Amino acid sequence: MSTRKKSIEDISVAGKKVLLRCDFNVPQDDSGAITDDSRIVASLDTIRYLLEHGAAVVACSHLGRPKGKVTPELSLAPVAVRLSELLGVDVPLASDVTGESARSLAGALQSGQIILLENLRFDAREEKNDPEFARELASLAELYVSDAFGAVHRAHASTVGVSQYLPSVAGLLVNRELEIIGRAISDPARPFVAILGGKKISDKLGVIERLLEIADTLIIGGAMRYTFVKALGGTIGDSLCEPDRLDYALQMLEKAKSRGVKLLLPPDTVAAKSLGDTNPITCASDAVPDGYEGLDIGPKSRELFVDAIANAATVIWNGPMGVFEVDAFAAGTRAVADALAKSNGVTIIGGGDSAAAVRQFGLTDAMTHVSTGGGATLEFLEGKTLPGIECLEDITL
């Protein structure tokens, strides 16, 4: 997959009506109030560029999983309100996706103005990449701009289908993801340290193999480390483990050795009887007592990982070191985040829980790049073709 794609900076958008695919899939509380607007904020550079350069913007996004049915609690109405506040201009919300309201608002749209379509997934044809629905979306505009990196691994009507009917380029956010992550995995400054965490090896099988081909050091944290520890004969108590991945873990350890990659596993663990246990213990990662579950990396592990990060010229991090949402088990994730914030190298946070942790610790601005993708970032790191990127126009030399 080529990552050299045309962006809005490579073409003239003046006087053009633009269908802009954003990622406004934001978390909300029970009352519908947005609890984290970072995805909306991430779209602002592209939106402002388009408006300031004379485009008329038809913004669209999904929210949640309404499964093709109009679900009032998943309306984009709160997003339209927040977007209006952030832009300082009114952002009218169509009451449908490609129906009479959408066509009327889009038809009346003038240069420098923006509207928002209702939740794309209110129409069951969106996730089926239905050609007729894609054509209906495309009929609202003259140019398609992809700026929802978190959705480019999905071949949906709004991420791929519309490209069959409109010239299609990347927005500033997607372009930045491609440039920074693409460069880090194709030609990284070295030493290159990759950090993986989270619950399961099975979620990151391809990523582990790919990183062992390009990284100088691979750090394994989170609950996924216990499958490695178990495979090596350790005792892990009640810690999470994938018994069907023990052979895979040994294969990856052997691959690291054969390629000269330093694979670091946490030597110690913070374990407890439950998340609410007020008396957690610190023990060797391969000697977790029965009845205890490893929920964070220990102090020796934190020191080991921080030292590796301090010497790195490029660091990519995807997955927390423990249950960082609980203060008693946040120290490992916090230590990694702090080390990246202090690094003089290129620091890339691979979306998902790692991005949430960095935001929680107030360290977002200290990183070179915080990806807006989750699954898309993982598939990009793995080297998979992303359909929502492949369909965009290539830069020709």
DSSP SS3 for 87: helix
Pick from 32, 229, 267, 25: nearest CA to 126 = 25
| Bridge partners for 346 per DSSP | 314
| Bridge partners for 275 per DSSP | none
The helix (H) or strand (E) run that includes residue 59 is strand 56-60
As a whole number of Å, the CA-based R_g of the chain is 23
**Residue 312's CB: how many other CB atoms inside 10 A?**
26
- Write the DSSP string, 117-138: ---GGGSTTTTTT-HHHHHHHH
Q: Catalytic residue numbers?
A: 39, 200, 352, 375
Q: Which two tokens stand for residue 76?
A: 């984009």
Contact 332, 221 (CB under 8 A): yes
Q: How far apart are CA 108 and CA 59, in angstroms?
A: 15
DSSP SS3 for 296: strand
φ and ψ of 41, to 5 deg = -60, -40
Where does the chain have alpha helices with state H?
38-52, 77-87, 100-108, 131-138, 172-186, 205-214, 225-231, 246-259, 299-310, 331-342, 352-360, 375-382, 387-390
Pick from 309, 295, 311: nearest CA to 225 = 295
* 153-156, Cβ contacts within 8 angstroms, sequence gap of 24 or more: 153/373, 153/375, 153/376, 153/379, 153/380, 153/384, 153/386, 153/387, 153/388, 154/127, 154/387, 154/388, 155/129, 155/387, 155/388, 156/120, 156/126, 156/127, 156/128, 156/129
Residues 6+ positions from 314 with CB-CB distance below 8 Å: 184, 188, 189, 190, 191, 192, 193, 345, 346, 348
Three-point CA angle 6, 151, 90, nearest 5°: 80
